[in-house]
Amino acid sequence: MLEGFTWYQQSAFRWKGERLVMYIDPWGLRGDLPPADLVLITHAHGDHYSKGDLDKIKASKTIFVAPADVAKELSGNVKPIKPGDRSEAAGVKIEAVPAYNIDPARLENHPKRNNWCGYVIQLAGRTYYHAGDTDRLPELERIHTDVAFVPIGNGGFVMTVEEAAALVRAMKPKLAVPMHYGFFPGVGVAGDGERFKKAAAGVEVTVMKPVNTFANP
């Protein structure tokens, strides 16, 4: 189910199919970088919205989907989106879902009022959920998806390993993939992927290997 996906670091992924190249939260891009047909951005933080990385993959055909505060800074074919919206871009069906903090210690890291989001997308007959930066929210437990990419960190900015594991156990995706750990201060270490796999027992988990070397071994 992960055919075509490349994980660069943090929450940055590329999906390359026969007729589509899509990037999500591109940051730390390197190597062969085919121009993007579609770019999804979850929120305005620099490890998710990197202008330098967007410059590496932007082409005249590129469609950007992003929350309003990011969308207003972009040029070209830009589609602003907010949680609850459904859209289609480059032939891909997209649903924006909530992504924010509810833990009192991190409320202002990703406030609900910002209308930042995660995405549920349809690719090659499968459903993929990219959570962006979020806590475990009751509304996320109702998402039906084949694959769930979830941030684990260590609780500084997003869910802890245990909270993320509880979310996927409630969601029951066919496959869960940890992300957003080991590359930024305060968001966990390289071994957190395996910790998540154990904590999410009962849900199949794939710990992907990033293109870049973990900054927090």
Name the residue with tokens 């806590």.
Answer: 135
Q: DSSP letters along 31-91, please?
A: S--PPPSEEE---SSTTT--HHHHHHH--TT-EEEE-HHHHTT--SEEEE--TT-EEEETT
176 part of a folded domain: yes
Residues 6+ apart with CB under 8 A from 107: 101
216 part of a folded domain: no
- pLDDT for the residue numbered 189: 94
Per-residue model confidence as pLDDT tens digits over 156-203: 799 999 999 999 999 999 999 999 999 988 889 999 999 999 999 999
136 part of a folded domain: yes
Is residue 105 within 8 A of residue 114, CB to CB? The reply is: no
- pLDDT for the residue numbered 48: 97
14 part of a folded domain: yes
Query: How many structural domains comprise the chain?
Result: 1
pTM of the predicted structure, to 2 decimals:
0.97
Neighbouring-strand partners of residue 205: 176
Half-sphere exposure of residue 125, counting CA atoms within 13 Å on the CB side?
Answer: 2
Residue-number span of the structural domain to which 195 is assigned: 5-199
**Is the per-residue pLDDT at 91 higher than 80?**
yes
- pLDDT for the residue numbered 156: 79
What's the gap between Cα 147 and its chain centre?
12
204 part of a folded domain: no
**Is the per-residue pLDDT at 154 higher than 90?**
no
Where are the alpha helices (H) located in the chain, listed in sequence order?
51-57, 68-71, 161-171, 192-199
207 part of a folded domain: no
Is 202 buried (19+), middle (13-18) or exposed (0-12) by CB count in 10 A?
exposed
Residues 6+ apart with CB under 8 A from 132: 11, 25, 42, 43, 48, 99, 116, 117, 118, 119, 151
Cα separation of 129 and 148, whole Å? Answer: 5
Sorting pLDDT into bands at 50, 70 and 90, what band is 155?
A: low
Name the residue with tokens 């930066």.
Answer: 133
88 part of a folded domain: yes
Per-residue model confidence as pLDDT tens digits over 2-44: 999 999 999 999 999 999 999 999 999 999 999 999 999 999 9
Section 121-146 average pLDDT: 97
Is residue 61 within 8 A of residue 37, CB to CB? The reply is: yes
Cα separation of 159 and 144, whole Å? Answer: 20
Report the CATH number that the domain containing residue 54 is assigned in CATH: 3.60.15.10
96 part of a folded domain: yes
